[in-house]
Amino acid sequence: MRLAKVAGPVLRRLPAETAHRAAINALKFSPPSRPQPADPRLAVEILGLRFPNPLGLAAGFDKNAEVPDAMLKLGFGFVEVGTLTPRPQDGNARPRLFRLPEDAAVINRFGFNNDGFERARARLLRRSSGGAAGRIGVNVGANRDAADRVEDYVLGVRTFAALADYLTINISSPNTPGLRDLQRRDALDDLVARVVAARDETEPRRPLLLKIAPDLDARGLEDIVATALIRRVDGLIISNTTVARPASLSSRNRAESGGLSGRPLFEPSTRLLARAYLLTGGAMPLIGCGGVEDAATALAKIEAGANLVQLYTGLALKGAGLVEEILDGLKRAVEERGVKRIGELVGARASAWAGREPASANEAALARAKG
């Protein structure tokens, strides 16, 4: 942790993608020591799995499964690697990662740059059986030039079922042309039917999650939830980055194309999360992602309906100490609310969050245009 505190200010002076690569290399060659013992009050049991705490690292940081155990040793309860595609691909041209420090945000247009399934699979196979405590998820996508994108997802399930604790199907990145079209009901039904069939043929049978976009209207969310329930998807991750640009953005990089993450994503993604929780009656496991930057925002996701929460941008902007800070805050919340486990707070404020109005005129205009 001391190395992380020293390295953080240095990394923030580097170009964003260079800093990201440097952070991965530092974790490979000088991994953190093990975190403090897990607090049983923060343990979560969903998807047939036990998570030592509800805080996870979202896909995008460790794209190629290079440092999952190092990140677990920072204190995360789970780490999601990827997004991975069957064949390696370079992604979009640089620069493609932009900090918006005045807005506590980041814009990326990576385009699924990654080393491909086989190299990531080899790294996961090399993990020692005595690795760090916590769960590993694998997030899979489709190559940009795939003849059959659904088959890419099917191959991802078959490739990683024996190595992951759960699998995520990423159909919501805004940086691969046409990918979000897979969220439309007919296309989604075909994709999910084929992917679930592949999952059901694998041993062991892993939980399967869908990662969806925040830029969905009410009908779009209802279609996704209905398809997920009918086709026996195990859970949803809400949400990916947004293509919206709130009027409140002030950074000089605000007009860059790509997916916006960080603080401006918090309110829209949390509203969508709460609406999904109410649509499912709390029966489907949900992972809340988007704008988690402290204990208060992590707790808000849980009270909106998330069983687990993920972060990435907050970590990039604030550093590794954020993990311990959030976990300490969640412990205090358990104590202050007089409950025995963090899971008792799931959905406590879902109705309030679901009924919130868009936070900005720009967001309101987007909602009106879609509705």
Residue 96: which CATH number? Answer: 3.20.20.70
Interhelix angle 263-280/218-230, nearest 10 degrees: 50
Residue 371 confidence (pLDDT): 37
User: The tokens of 371 are what?
Assistant: 């509705």
Q: Which residue segment(s) compose the domain that 125 sits in?
A: 2-370
Q: Could you give the CA distance from residue 26 to residue 114 in angstroms, rounded to a whole number? A: 19
List the structure tokens of 66. 């290079």
What one-letter code names the amino acid at 58?
A
**Residue 41 vs residues 47, 308, 341: alpha-carbon distances, Å:** 18, 14, 5
pLDDT at 214 over 80: yes
Read out DSSP for 175-227?
A: TSTTGGGGGSHHHHHHHHHHHHHHHHHSSS---EEEEE-S---HHHHHHHHHH
Beta-carbon contacts of residue 32 (< 8 Å; ≥ 6 apart):
1, 3, 4, 70, 73, 74, 320
Is 173 an active-site residue? yes
User: pLDDT of 298-353, one tens digit each?
Assistant: 999 999 999 999 999 999 999 989 999 999 999 999 999 999 999 999 999 999 99
Q: At residue 154, what is the residue type?
A: V
Residues 6+ apart with CB under 8 A from 303: 345, 346, 347, 348, 349, 350, 353
What average pLDDT does range 198-214 have in this prediction? 94
Number of domains within the chain: 1
Q: What is the pLDDT of residue 128?
A: 59
Contacts of 137 (CB under 8 A, 6+ apart): 56, 59, 78, 79, 80, 81, 164, 165, 166, 167, 168, 209
| pLDDT confidence bin for 184, thresholds 50/70/90 | confident
Selection from 286, 288, 271 nearest residue 353 by Cα: 271
Of 10-19, 298-307, 353-362, the least confident: 353-362
Give 286-295 pLDDT, tens digit per residue: 999 999 999 9
Question: In this predicted model, what pLDDT tens digit does every residue of 87-125 receive, in sequence order?
Answer: 999 999 999 999 999 999 999 999 899 999 999 999 999
- Per-residue pLDDT of 125-173, as tens digits, reads 998 555 568 999 999 999 999 999 999 999 999 999 999 999 999 988 7
Q: Which of 172, 173, 239, 269 is catalytic?
A: 173
| DSSP-derived secondary structure letter, 242 | B
